[in-house]
Amino acid sequence: MSVLHLDSSNFDSTVSQGKNILVDFWAPWCAPCRMLGPTIDKLAEEVGDKAVVAKVDVDQSPDIAQRYGINTIPTILFFKKGELVSMSGPSSLETLKKTLLNL
């Protein structure tokens, strides 16, 4: 599966699905975000349909970033059944995968 790109029009409906969801809050101008990008892409491939891997561009969807108090990027949020269950910064592929699949 590929990374989903979320914005105000599809964020709530996607997060409220029953699957475990990782959301990477990022921006194109953010160097650490760009460095994390390939890891997020690889994670989406590895988890396939077992979970959802998504991104929110904080410049295009500041309302979503504000709702979750995103002050620094990249920030990663983990959702289970529509509820925010965990927040982290950049991590290794294995750490992100383990966290996402074991929510």
Mean pLDDT of the chain: 96
Active-site residue identified among 30, 43, 52, 73: 30
All residues at 6 or more sequence positions from 62 whose CB lies less than 8 Å from its CB, including other chains: none
102 has catalytic annotation = no
Q: Which of 33, 51, 58, 64 is catalytic?
A: 33
pLDDT tens per residue across span 69-83:
999 999 999 999 999
Strands (E), 1-103: 4-6, 20-26, 51-57, 75-80, 83-88
4-101 — its CATH code?
3.40.30.10
Domain segments of the chain as ranges: 4-101
Tally: H helices and E strands in the chain: 4, 5
pLDDT of residue 72: 95
Taking the C-alpha atoms of residue 15 and residue 45, their distance in angstroms, rounded to an integer, is 19
pTM for the full predicted model: 0.96
Q: What does the pLDDT read at residue 91?
A: 93
Our answer to whether residue 6 is catalytic in this structure is no
